[in-house]
């Protein structure tokens, strides 16, 4: 008789649209999504595990507060759309740089 192996649990995610917020424009709000998982997953920026993360629908950068200087610093790498990032990191779109007009 074969020994039964336990299969890993299935990872499920619910993608929720951000609600209206007077602090953000409609364009900013429209690009943000909240991700609710059925189990803890790591943040792509810091590795902290949580069930609720947030993301953007387009390529973005995640920031972190420099506690020594009270200034916002962004990680050098960009994240792909729908990458899970915990709520400790502000997100900004990483739009392509426009060339100089001659």
Residue boundaries of the structural domains of the chain: 13-93
CA 15 centroid distance within chain: 12
Distance CA 96, CA 72 (A): 21
Distance CA 31, CA 24 (A): 11
Give yes or no for residue 42 having a pLDDT over 90. yes
Structure tokens at 52: 């609720």
Looking at the DSSP bridge assignments, the partners of residue 73 are: 64
Write out pLDDT tens, residues 60-96. Answer: 999 987 666 667 888 889 999 999 999 999 998 998 7
In a 3-state reduction of DSSP, which class is residue 34? Answer: strand
Identify the CA nearest to 67 among candidates 88, 48, 87: 88
The answer to whether the pTM exceeds 0.75 is: yes
In a 3-state reduction of DSSP, which class is residue 22? Answer: coil
Give yes or no for residue 101 having a pLDDT over 60. no
User: Residue 8 — very low, low, confident or very high, per pLDDT cuts 50/70/90?
Assistant: confident
**pLDDT at 50 (0 to 100):** 96
Burial 9-40 (b: 16+ CB within 10 A, else e): eeeeeeeeeeeeeeeeeeeeeebbbbbebeee
């Amino acid at each position: 008789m074969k020994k039964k192996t336990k299969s890993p649990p299935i990872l499920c995610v619910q993608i929720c649209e951000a609600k209206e917020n007077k602090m953000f424009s409609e364009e900013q709000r429209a690009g943000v999504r909240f991700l609710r998982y059925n189990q803890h997953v790591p943040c792509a920026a810091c590795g902290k595990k949580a069930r609720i993360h947030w993301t953007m629908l387009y390529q973005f950068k995640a920031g972190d507060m420099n506690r020594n200087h009270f200034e916002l610093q962004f990680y050098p790498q960009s994240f792909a759309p729908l990458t899970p990032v915990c709520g400790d990191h502000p997100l900004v779109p990483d739009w392509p740089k426009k060339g100089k007009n001659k």
